[in-house]
Structure 1
Amino acid sequence: MLDIADELHRWMAQGREFAVATVVSVGGSAPRGPGAALAVDSEGTAIGSVSGGCVEGAVYELCAQALQDGRAVRERFGYSDEDAFAVGLTCGGVIDVLVTPVRANAPGRQVLGAALSAAASGAAAALARVVRGPDGFLGRSLLVRPDGTQEGGLGGHAELDRTAAAEARALLETGRTGTVTLSEDGSHCPGGLTLLVETSVEPPRMIVFGAVDFAAALVRAGKFLGHHVTVCDARPVFATRARFPEADEVVVDWPHRYLRRTRTDGRTVLCVLTHEARFDVPLLAEALRRPVAFVGAMGSRRTHEDRLRRLREVGLGEGELKRLRSPIGLDLGARTPEETALSIAAEIVAARRGGTGLPLTGGAEPIHRDLSGAAA
């Protein structure tokens, strides 16, 4: 649900009533993962998607019905060999969808509103909702913030809420969305509960080193992928806001010095486009020792071999050098800055999602991989 937080937050502010359908689990090949959502308001306006089109019509009708009768429901959609015309996923997968009405006086509206406000503003928060449990529990929600403050509740039992909050915080720390099962023991809930925990975290960082023409195109690609993008270059004549209007930050500093003092984490992407040894070597020596998601550097294969030699000379080991993606980008035959940015962005996505970078035509690997342990 938080993937469409901006629009839903606006609906909340306007006082609209709506129902939201959220993917809570996926089996096999499915177009969208847990947390993907579609919402329908009382005027019939729809936003979002749960399947890329396969079951949208049926989910739309479920939302309209939930908004009318005020009851949360859970529905499963999957491919049917017996009935080729049945509503289902043509890709052969299975998805479970939770449909929750958000009416004007609904008890959980305030909690959902707070979660949507946090997500729309980029604040960190985790929203835990009951997606399986005894009658009356379905759709109950608990909002957990990093400082431990909470809103809402799952069933009026402090111990149950404490257990759920601890699980939600664990997912929030890694920026993941996923399901959590609470056992009956100690939960004050016969049969236990299954929760969908959606997390709202600040966007992952992309730092582009080198204020070159290729960097301008990569900034646009990075923003499209949802990154907070910084451009850094030691040359003030090139590192200007006028040249990079779409960047979140433009920094004039020596790249290695800036990297030492800035914040990075396991989702950070570092793209080195300078391909000049006086910048690259100290920068990459710092970058490859950091636990970031991706380190790539532009340059020819000859430049790459010379770069590896220089990095070995300053003390980097083979394990660290293996993390370097150079020349950066997938082989798309790119020529223009925009094409090059596309090839770099494609490699970043492949690295994050476990893709091969090969054409899907004729491939045997699953199209949608199970990366439940990866950050969202």
Structure 2
Amino acid sequence: MLNIADTLHRWCREARLFALATVVDVHGSAPLPTGTSVAVDQDGNAVGSISGGCVEGAVYELCRQVLQQDGGPRRAWFGYSDDDAFAVGLTCGGELDVLVQRVDPTAQPHLAVVCDEVRQGRPVAVAQVVDGPDHLLGATLGVLGEDGGTQGSVDGGGPVDRALAGQAGALLRAGRTARADIGGEHDGCPERLSALVHVHASRPRLLVFGAVDFAAALSRAGRFLGHRVTVCDARPVFATTARFPHADEVVVDWPHRYLEHTEVDSRTAVCVLTHDAKFDIPLLRLALDLPVGYIGAMGSRRTHDERLRLLREAGVSEEQLARLRSPIGLDLGARTPEETALSITAEIIAHANQGTGLPLTGGTGAIHRKEDERAI
């Protein structure tokens, strides 16, 4: 639902009734991920997409029915039909499990708060019950900030709320939308249920070390992909905001000293573009000991071999060296800074999603992995 937070915020503030259709599960190939939503208000206005066009008409009509009947949530399953090529379904061959519910913003005032947090760019998670007792189906609980409080309630502040808040907070810190199953003695919940936790996380960081032409192109590509980009170099004549207008911040400092004191997490990508041993070795020695998601270093294969030798002499283990992507990027035959930036960001995406980096042509199996099969 957070993909349409701007419109939902306005509708909630206007106390406008609407139907919300949310993809709660995906099997096989599908154009949009779990958690994507469509909303339709009482006047027939629609916002969002769940399939890129394949089943939008059917979902729209189902939303209208749920609004008019004033009933409980409904489930719909959309798949591909080999027997009838014109049947409502996904031409990509995947299957979608969709939950459609009627939303009265006056009964769920916390939704306006949650949507406003998204609009302001702040991290937030919403746990939406998608399987379980009928009286809880569609109920939501919001978690504001990675260490923040809750908004709304599923069971009036009881064990379900506490269990959902804990799991939603963990997924928010990990930065991913996923299902959360609770219930049983471990959670202290009398009833088993499953919630889809929608996550709007803080932007993942892209740390670019080396104020070179490749860094300018990489910062632009990283910004386009939604990263919070930092360019760092020890040379003040090169590390300027004028040279890197697409970076969120430009830092003049020794790379390893900056990395030692800045905040990183499992979604952080570290790109070392200096290929100068006096910068690279202390920086990579530190980076390879941190819980960051991606570490890549630019340079020729000869530079890479020498870099490995120096890192081993500095005490870096073989296990740590195995994390290093060097030479950086996928083999696209890139030559220009812009092509190289594409090569690097493609490798970052492939690494985060456990992709192969190989052409899809000639491959087999599903194109899209399920969210819970991807690396955090």
2: distance between equivalents of 1:233 and 1:296? 16
The question of whether the paired residues in 2 share the 8 Å contact of 1:70 and 1:103 is answered with: no
Tell me the amino acid that sits aligned with residue 304 of structure 2. H
Distance 2:6 2:224 in 1: 16
Q: Does 1:73 align with 2:70?
A: no
Instruction: Name the SS for the 1:98 alignment partner.
Output: strand
Distance (Å, rounded) in 2 between the aligned partners of 1:324 and 1:127 = 35
In 2, Cα distance between equivalents of 1:349 and 1:194: 29
Secondary structure, counterpart of 1:245 in structure 2: coil
Contact 2:32-2:51 at 8 Å conserved across structures = yes
Letter in 2 for 1:84: A
Counterpart contact for 1:297–1:328, Cα < 8 Å? yes
SS in 2 for 1:143: strand
- Measured in 2, the distance between the counterparts of 1:250 and 1:17 equals 46
CA shift for structure 1 position 62: 2.5
Aligned to 1:113, what secondary structure does the other structure show? helix
Report the equivalent of 2:355.
Answer: 355
Q: Secondary structure at the match of 1:372?
A: helix
Alignment deviations for residues 237-283 of structure 1 (CA, whole Å, 9 cap, x no partner): 11111111121111111111101111111110001111122211111
1:317 to partner: Cα distance: 1.6
Pair 1:153–1:304, CA change in 2 (3 A): same
1:235 aligned onto 2:231:
no
* Counterpart residue number, 1:83: 84
Aligned-residue identity in percent: 60
Counting only pairs closer than 5 Å after superposition, residues 192-203 of structure 1 correspond to structure 2 as: 192-203=192-203
User: Structure 2 vs 1, CA of residues 332 and 135 (structure 1 numbering), >3 Å: closer, same or farther?
Assistant: same
Residues 187 and 287 of structure 1, relative CA distance in 2, 3 Å threshold: closer
Distance in 2, matches of 1:335 and 1:43, equals 53
Is the alpha carbon distance of 1:157 and 1:306 closer, same or farther for their aligned partners in structure 2, counting shifts above 3 Å?
Answer: closer
Aligned to 2:129: 130
Structure 1 unaligned segments of length 5 or more: list them.
none
**How far apart are residue 26 of structure 1 and its match?**
1.3
1:202-240 deviation digits (Å, cap 9, x = unpaired): 111100111111111111211122111111111111111
What are the Cα deviations for residues 6-42 of structure 1, in whole angstroms up to 9, with x where unaligned? 4533554566554332211112222222112223345
Q: TM-score, normalised by structure 2?
A: 0.90
Partner of 1:167: 167
Q: Is the 8 A contact 1:26 1:33 kept in 2?
A: yes
Root-mean-square deviation over aligned CA pairs: 2.4
Q: Following the alignment from structure 1 to structure 2, what is the Cα–Cα distance between the partners of residues 323 and 314?
A: 16
CA contact (8 A) 1:175 1:375 kept: no
Task: Give the aligned length.
Answer: 372
CA distance in 1, matches of 2:216, 2:265: 24
Give the TM-score taking structure 1 as reference length. 0.90
CA contact (8 A) 1:79 1:94 kept: yes
Q: Distance in 1 between matches of 2:278 and 2:228?
A: 26
Q: Where does residue 222 of structure 2 map in the other structure?
A: 222
Q: How has the CA–CA distance of structure 1 residues 69 and 223 changed in structure 2, closer, same or farther, with 3 Å as cutoff?
A: farther
Partner of residue 63, structure 2: 63
- Give ranges in structure 2 of 5+ residues lacking alignment: none
- What is the DSSP-based 3-state SS (H/G/I as helix, E as strand, rest coil) of the residue aligned with 2:170? helix
SS in 2 for 1:333: coil
Residue 129 of structure 1 aligns with an amino acid whose one-letter code is: Q
Corresponding residue for 1:24? Answer: 24
Q: Secondary structure at the match of 2:372?
A: coil
- Say whether the 8 Å CA contact 2:353–2:375 is kept in structure 1: no
1:116 to 2:111 alignment: no
